[in-house]
């Protein structure tokens, strides 16, 4: 992979949008106005959006000593907001998916720090933590079992397997971030983010303030540097950094006065992971038919009959006993393919919001509210509705391992 330049100062949001649209078009993924309209007027969308889009997953049952303490926790949680490619093995071992596993780890780091074992969420704590401690907090067994080479019937356990890989990715990103913070003289990640927020607060335009915070996060920490090159074309997603900035708005924006300057996040690009593009494919918004190498990854998705069913009312809820079945493993993607799909979902959500704004003035007052939805609202709906309906939970999501970006 060749060198990828940072976007120009003040141009990070535009770079996300322009690079996503260009890569989506170059990859032969189409988005038609009819299919976008079919989604936003569907019973599935209209009937669940107001409720489901509020399920942001950022309610913290923790007692923080200060706003800076909470900001630091939220910052580390956002830095760790990846592991989607390990969803199935996480469910198999712990009964939790990627996001719930990461939240559980962050909770353990916080609770253990306040109980007297040293501040694991400080810069030095992040720099020093090791894979064994992370596995302990996550309740993960890092040993993989295999038959002994020469003794029949004997099973040998050795370090390895997908969750061993995941734990080492987590340790690597925490250690690297901690080292950068210590070298810069910051007591924790929250203090760096607070400084960036204050710097952004000097900008009169609150939307422009986002650029300041986003650029500082991306330039300082490789763990937030979610950018790549596909076929010579740069692509910028910055999912975790955008998620953090919006999380700050959710957690602190309603306080009067807020403890930090809060940038406006209503027009941020979506925080593209594996869920958003996968769901948009299943719901018929992203049409892969012109690119056989991509459409073959989701061979059952996109048919009119399937889409009509998914956009209708949810199936009746059923009560079943026993443990929940493991989620079905989705297609394994290359880095190039994952960025293509993520780019397509960023551009698709921009197009959906443009279409939603045209709903204003419609004669149907029941859906007039659609004209006021925001991109982060749409992001939260897509992410949360994937778990909200039984038929959506059964849909395949693509997976990519060995990444710290989603």
Residues 79-92: tens digit of each pLDDT? 999 999 999 999 99
The domains of the chain are located at 12-393
Q: For residue range 102-134, list pLDDT tens digits in order.
A: 999 999 999 999 776 799 999 999 999 999 999
Torsional sign, CA 322, 324, 326, 328 = positive
Q: For residue range 242-289, list pLDDT tens digits in order.
A: 999 999 999 999 999 999 999 999 999 999 999 999 999 999 999 999
pLDDT above 70 covers a percentage of the chain that reads 96
Q: Which residue has the tokens 């630091």?
A: 72
Is the pLDDT at 238 greater than 70? The verdict is yes
Backbone phi, then psi, for 403, in 5-degree steps? -140, 145
SS3 percent helix, strand, coil of the chain, rounded to 5, is 55, 5, 40
Region for 231 from its dihedrals, namely left if φ exceeds 0, alpha if ψ lies in -120 to 50, beta otherwise:
left
- pLDDT average, residue stretch 198-216: 94
Q: For residue range 131-169, list pLDDT tens digits in order.
A: 999 999 999 998 877 787 888 888 767 788 999 999 999
DSSP H or E run through 233: strand 233-236
Pick the more confident residue, 300 or 335.
Answer: 335
CA angle 82, 238, 120 (to 5 degrees): 50
Structure tokens at 263: 């940038």
Q: At what angle do helices 335-357 and 33-40 cross, to 10 degrees?
A: 70
Torsional sign, CA 263, 348, 74, 238 = negative
Is the pLDDT at 361 greater than 70? The verdict is no
Long-range CB pairs of 318-325 (<8 Å, 24+ gap) are: 318/390, 323/95, 324/95
Pick the more confident residue, 205 or 261.
Answer: 261
Is the pLDDT at 363 greater than 60? The verdict is no
């Amino acid at each position: 992979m060749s060198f990828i330049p940072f976007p120009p100062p003040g141009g990070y949001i535009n770079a996300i949008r322009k690079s996503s649209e260009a890569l989506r078009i170059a990859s032969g993924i189409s988005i038609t106005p009819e299919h976008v309209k079919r989604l936003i007027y569907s019973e599935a969308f209209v009937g669940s959006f107001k409720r489901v889009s509020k399920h942001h997953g950022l309610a913290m049952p923790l007692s923080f000593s200060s706003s800076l303490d909470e900001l630091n926790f939220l910052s580390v949680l956002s830095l760790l907001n990846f592991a989607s490619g390990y969803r199935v093995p996480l469910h198999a071992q712990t009964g939790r998916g990627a996001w719930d596993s990461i939240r559980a780890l962050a909770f353990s780091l916080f609770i253990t720090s306040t109980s007297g074992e040293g501040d694991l969420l400080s810069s030095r704590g992040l720099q020093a933590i090791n894979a064994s401690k992370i596995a302990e907090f996550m309740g993960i067994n890092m040993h993989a079992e295999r038959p002994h080479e020469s003794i029949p019937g004997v099973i040998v356990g050795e370090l390895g397997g997908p969750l061993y890989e995941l734990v080492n990715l987590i340790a690597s990103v925490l250690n690297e971030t901690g080292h950068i913070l210590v070298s810069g003289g910051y007591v924790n990640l929250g203090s760096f983010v607070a400084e960036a927020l204050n710097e952004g607060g000097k900008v009169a335009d609150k939307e422009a303030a986002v650029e300041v915070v986003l650029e500082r996060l991306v330039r300082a920490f490789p763990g937030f540097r979610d950018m790549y090159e596909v076929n010579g074309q740069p692509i910028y997603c910055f999912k975790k950094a955008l998620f953090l900035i919006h999380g700050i708005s959710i957690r602190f924006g309603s306080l009067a006065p807020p403890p930090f300057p809060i940038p406006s996040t209503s027009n941020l690009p979506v925080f593209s992971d594996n869920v958003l593009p996968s769901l948009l494919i299943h719901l018929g918004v992203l049409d892969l038919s012109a690119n056989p190498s991509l459409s073959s990854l989701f061979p059952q998705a996109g048919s009119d009959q399937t889409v009509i069913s998914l956009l209708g009312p949810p199936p009746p809820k059923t009560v079943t006993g026993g443990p929940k079945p493991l989620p079905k493993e989705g297609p394994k993607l290359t880095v190039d393919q994952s960025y293509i799909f993520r780019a397509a979902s960023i551009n698709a959500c921009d197009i959906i919001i443009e279409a939603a704004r045209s709903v204003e003035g419609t004669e149907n007052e029941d859906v007039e509210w659609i004209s006021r939805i925001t991109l982060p609202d749409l992001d939260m709906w897509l992410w949360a509705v994937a778990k909200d309906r039984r038929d959506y939970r059964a849909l395949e999501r693509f997976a990519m391992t060995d990444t710290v970006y989603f």
